[in-house]
Amino acid sequence: MRIHLESVGFAYAPDVVALDGVDLTIEPGERIAILGENGAGKTTLAKHLNGLLKPDSGVVEIGDWSTLEHSPAELAARVGYAFQNPDDQLFERTVRAEVAFGPKNLGLSAGEVDRRVRAVLGLVGLAARADTHPYDLQPTDRKLVALAATLALETPIVVIDEPTTGQDAAGLRVLAAVLDRLEADGRTIIVISHDIDFCSEHLERGVLMADGQVLADGPLAQVLSQTDLLARAAVEQPQMMRLAAALGLEGWPLTVENFIADYERQHRPQGGRP
Amino acid sequence: MIELENVNYRYPASQQPALADITLQIKAGEFVAVVGANGAGKSTLLYALAGFVPHFYGGDFDGRLRVLGHDVAADGPASVVGQVGLVFQDPFNQISGARFTVREEIAFGLENLNVARAQMDERIDRALALAGLEGLGDRSPFALSGGQQQRLALASIVVMEPELLVLDEPTSQLDPVGTRQVFEALDRLTGERGTTIVIAEHKLEWVAAFADRVVVLDDGRIVEDAPPDQALVADETTRPGLGQTRYTRAGRLARQRGLIPADRPLPVTLSQAIEYFS
């Protein structure tokens, strides 16, 4: 399902402009990182996708729907949104009930609800905690419950706001598995994140924001190679790109594997590879 | 400054020990990072240093714990007030909500210590600058972004000028620029004022660049206590909850591919990686 934003403007108050002339088209199955410092407008943009916010000017279209003509409840069938703070989203007494809430509201059969709950809890590694009260979980696990609840809706578009905050190495592996699954299923993934290394390893297109505007939009490596724009957006390069630049390597490696490939190509003598 | 000897602790109604046989000494002016998986005991250890565990939480505590000469396990946080500052992970646990502006919020602790007005203003200005909140002093704490609130929580503790500053993931809500500001501010505190820092943090790239020492916790136990370039290079299969910086991963992969001699020590920071690959 295609997402199309045209000249979108939004202000929380007359002097607090959060989005200023945003144009953005996202094709089905794309994997997008929305990058920028705190206050750049990333979350405001994301909240326009599921109709929690409506544009003051311009249009936001999700497939053939304008968000001006559809309620957030209707849009929830098309756009899943995992909040930055899970406590904005959780209200049931058990993890299982929390995750089942959305699918039940879609009017699915009990069997289908159960299948989805099992699948997503397995995916986020919380199958054993299905009967736990969400507030008896660590905050980072609550965040995974909120993500699971969003995934259980099986929407064609999934927006995840700051998924890596507070996660340890094991939590990051879970998130990586979730993104791999969404990619395999061909769903559109939009991740808002400060974690540039995580984005570099799992996403393909970057939308760089500052002061409510899109500064750059394109393949992630290309966006992250524009150091002048990154400085304006207060976004740092991923670790491997900084290392490659410091070593004078050619190329803009996003991942450890990209970096090693670039390094190997430029440091092996000609024909020296056994 | 800090001495723990065979400290064991279990939260009430919990079967598992949160801290198991912890022996640890931290000297004045050290910058120590506590790392490990979520649930490994990082926050509990920090709360113990500030006197909150077991004082407020109850549970079973044994072993010897001295902070600045005080028996904080017995006497609680009041025994070290003004000397030990704890910055909570969630800024909402820190911000009083009883104050209308950021400046008033930062003044809260100083008022309780009867600091003179003129001195108070100067200290608040310094704390605002250190936390990167200049120009926001007259805002409501609740009109700040999550990242700004986290830095307000830091400012409201730093303004007390504690000898020991204990911070529980103080950068979790911050973007890289905000994270850099916090680590550089902490570095200045140790450098200029000799403040002792104990910080729990997942962002190993920053730990590697700033900490003198890294304490790795696993299931409530200390499994490593060493400088970052030794503590953070463990293979991910042996420390699955800890992770490692991309510099270390790249170093190991280059070693496996035979691109770099195996006897060259693995890098944990950018500057070490530049040397490693040059």
pLDDT tens digits for A126-143?
A: 999 999 998 888 888 999
C-alpha distance from A42 to closest chain B C-alpha (Å): 12
- Using a CB-CB distance cutoff of 8 angstroms, which residues of chain B are in contact with residue A256? 246, 249-250, 253
pLDDT score of A106: 87
SS (H, E, C) chain B: CEEEEEEEEECCCCCCCCEEEEEEEECCCCEEEEECCCCCCHHHHHHHHCCCCCCCCCCEEEEEEEECCECHHHHCHHHHCCCEEEECCCHHHCCCCCCCCHHHHHHHHHHHCCCCHHHHHHHHHHHHHHCCCCCCCCCCHHHCCHHHHHHHHHHHHHCCCCCEEEEECCCCCCCHHHHHHHHHHHHHHHHHHCCEEEEECCCHHHHHHHCCEEEEEECCEEEEEECHHHHCCCCCCCCCCCCCCHHHHHHHHHHHCCCCCCCCCCCCCHHHHHHHHC
| Residue A13 structure tokens | 């108050």
Give CA–CA dist B106/B128, Å, rounded.
Answer: 9
The residue of chain B nearest to residue A236, with distances taken between CA atoms, is B176
pLDDT digits (tens, 9 = 90+) for B92-111: 677 776 778 999 999 988 88
Give the confidence band of A272 by pLDDT, cuts at 50, 70, 90. Answer: very low
Give CA–CA dist A234/A249, Å, rounded.
Answer: 24
Give the confidence band of A269 by pLDDT, cuts at 50, 70, 90. Answer: low
Could you tell me whether strands B2-10 and B19-26 are parallel, antiparallel, or unpaired per DSSP bridges? antiparallel
pLDDT digits (tens, 9 = 90+) for A144-188: 999 999 999 999 999 999 999 889 999 999 999 999 999 999 999
pLDDT digits (tens, 9 = 90+) for A91-107: 889 999 999 999 998 89
Taking CB atoms and an 8 Å limit, are B172 and A166 in contact across chains?
Answer: yes
Give CA–CA dist A95/A134, Å, rounded.
Answer: 6
What are the distances in angstroms from CA A85 to CA A64, A117, A146, A194? 30, 21, 9, 15
- Using a CB-CB distance cutoff of 8 angstroms, which residues of chain A are in contact with residue B89? 166
Give CA–CA dist B30/A48, Å, rounded.
Answer: 47
Q: What is the mean pLDDT of chain A?
A: 93
Taking CB atoms and an 8 Å limit, are A240 and B173 in contact across chains?
Answer: no
Taking CB atoms and an 8 Å limit, are B175 and A194 in contact across chains?
Answer: yes
pLDDT score of A274: 46
pLDDT digits (tens, 9 = 90+) for B183-241: 998 998 999 899 999 999 999 999 999 999 999 999 999 999 999 999 999 887 777 77
pLDDT score of B109: 84
pLDDT score of B88: 87
Q: What is the mean pLDDT of chain B?
A: 91
C-alpha distance from A104 to closest chain B C-alpha (Å): 32
Taking CB atoms and an 8 Å limit, are B38 and A246 in contact across chains?
Answer: no
Share of chain B above pLDDT 90, in %: 68
A107-130 average pLDDT score: 95
Q: Is the pLDDT of residue A230 over 80?
A: yes
Q: Is the pLDDT of residue A267 over 90?
A: no
The closest CB to that of B169, out of A39, A166, A239, belongs to A166
Q: Which residue has the tokens 């973007």?
A: B175
Q: Which residue has the tokens 């017995």?
A: B74
- Using a CB-CB distance cutoff of 8 angstroms, which residues of chain A are in contact with residue B172? 165-166
**pTM for the complete prediction?**
0.89
Q: Is the pLDDT of residue B123 over 90?
A: yes
pLDDT score of A270: 53
Q: Is the pLDDT of residue A273 over 80?
A: no
- Using a CB-CB distance cutoff of 8 angstroms, which residues of chain A are in contact with residue B90? 139
Burial of A248 by CB count in 10 Å (0-12 exposed, 13-18 middle, 19+ buried)?
exposed
Interchain CB contacts (distance < 8 Å): A and B: 95
